[in-house]
Amino acid sequence: MFISSKKEEAFGEIKDNDLKRAGYFAIILKLLSRENVVKQTTKSFILRILLLPLAKKQASDFILRQ
């Protein structure tokens, strides 16, 4: 997978776990968007669970770079 240097600077090093998480995120988001029964609160709850570890890592990387 080709990553430009500008993207790499902005997001840091992308690892296999991050790519797996992004894949799971995309699949779950696709399934949730099909289900009209699922409420918005459930969607946001699931998205927070998926994205929280990645957001914490990126925030700590950003703070360390400053």
Evaluate whether residue 2 is within a structural domain. Answer: no
pLDDT at position 15 is 65
Evaluate whether residue 49 is within a structural domain. Answer: yes
Domain count, the chain: 1
Evaluate whether residue 55 is within a structural domain. Answer: yes
Task: Count Cα atoms within 13 angstroms, Cβ side, for 9.
Answer: 4
Q: Is 48 left (phi over 0), alpha (psi -120 to 50) or beta?
A: alpha
pLDDT at position 44 is 72
Evaluate whether residue 28 is within a structural domain. Answer: no
Taking Cα atoms as reference points, which of 50, 15, 17, 13 lies closest to residue 31? 50
Evaluate whether residue 50 is within a structural domain. Answer: yes
pLDDT digits (tens, 9 = 90+) for 1-58: 444 445 445 555 656 677 777 777 777 777 766 655 556 667 677 777 777 777 677 7
pLDDT at position 28 is 76
Structural domain range at position 52:
40-66
pLDDT at position 57 is 73
pLDDT at position 50 is 73
